[in-house]
A and B are shown apart, each in its own frame.
Chain A
Amino acid sequence: MRHISPSSALLGGVLIGIAAVTLLLFNGRIMGVTGIARGVMEPQRRDWLWRVVFLAGLAAGPFVYTAMIGAPVTIELTRSVPVLIVGGFLVGFGTCAANGCTSGHGVCGLGLLSRRSVMVTVTFMITSMATVFVIRHLLGGA
């Protein structure tokens, strides 16, 4: 993994916060990716276009970064197909049941000091850390 300085981490976080503030100030919307994506799947709501545009911008973000910094974006992900399928399904199903994920409850909800968001964030932090502990330290995985 490349080195990430604490200032890059904070700067990245501040940019994410600015994105959330921008969406609320101008459009009156909470920047929660789960809710935004779910709205795309309900075309009868007739407000899907801004959602698609937001998600396209999100997917284009790494390329704008490369254009600005000149460094390619590399990610590291080595998981078997069954783990990817089960993990992906749990993320999709769980975030919808919880009405939000790391962006909606984490970034936005914690900023609003919402009790629901604090509860959700604490819960998914605990189960994700427990899952990594089981995979890495009990099962000897990566």
Chain B
Amino acid sequence: MKALAVALIAGLVFGIGLTISDMINPARVLAFLDVSGAWDPTLALVLLGATGVTALGFRMILRRQRPMFGSQFRLPSRKEVDVPLVWGAGLFGIGWGMVGLCPGPAFGVLLLGHWETYVFFPAMIAGMLTHAALQRAPRAARSEA
């Protein structure tokens, strides 16, 4: 129950932060990505503020044995840079540049009533499900062999 309250507060603060900095506005994001046009540095300042807090905060938190409400920290275990990582990031960037929405803001704008977001969002979920299905397929084939 306490962990659910934390999840709600973290989601709300994230959404408020995205709204104050206008990062839920695709036009603002595209203006940052348009480096050879009328460049808008907002996104860089947002990332600077956010990573400043995480760089300091994460370091202090990870000195603890465990989180306040849980038995262990769930951190990504892989350290190596592999090929899918890079082409996945490349494909993500192409989609981001086409529309100006990434997953966080795609959820953030969901209740604002713009029809475009109701086309984008299911397509994004379909992309995620397609990736998950392709991940499962080779594994299933191996286990049958």
Nearest CB in chain A: distance from B73 CB, A: 4
Whether the Cβ atoms of B81 and A13 lie closer than 8 Å is: no
* Set of chain B residues within 8 Å of A59, measured between Cβ atoms: 11, 15, 107-108, 110-111
Number of interface residues of B (CB under 8 A): 109
The CA of A41 and the CA of B122, in the complex, are separated in Å by: 13
Whether the Cβ atoms of A123 and B52 lie closer than 8 Å is: no
A13 and B47 contact, Cβ closer than 8 Å, known pairs A38-B132, A60-B12: yes
Whether the Cβ atoms of A58 and B27 lie closer than 8 Å is: no
A88 and B31 contact, Cβ closer than 8 Å, known pairs A11-B49, A97-B84, A116-B85: no
Nearest CB in chain B: distance from A91 CB, A: 4
Whether the Cβ atoms of A8 and B20 lie closer than 8 Å is: yes
Query: Which of A13, A34, A53, A86 makes the CB contact (< 8 A) with B21?
Result: A13
Whether the Cβ atoms of A107 and B33 lie closer than 8 Å is: no
* Set of chain A residues within 8 Å of B36, measured between Cβ atoms: 133, 137
Whether the Cβ atoms of A75 and B12 lie closer than 8 Å is: no
Query: Which of A101, A123, A125, A130 makes the CB contact (< 8 A) with B104?
Result: A101
CB contacts under 8 Å to B, within A55-85, are: 55-65, 68, 73-79, 81, 83-85
The CA of A34 and the CA of B68, in the complex, are separated in Å by: 24
CB contacts under 8 Å to B, within A87-117, are: 87-103, 105-108, 110-116
Q: A residues engaging B (CB < 8 A)?
A: 1-2, 4, 6, 8-31, 33-34, 37-38, 41-42, 49-51, 53-65, 68, 73-79, 81, 83-103, 105-108, 110-116, 119-121, 123-133, 135-137
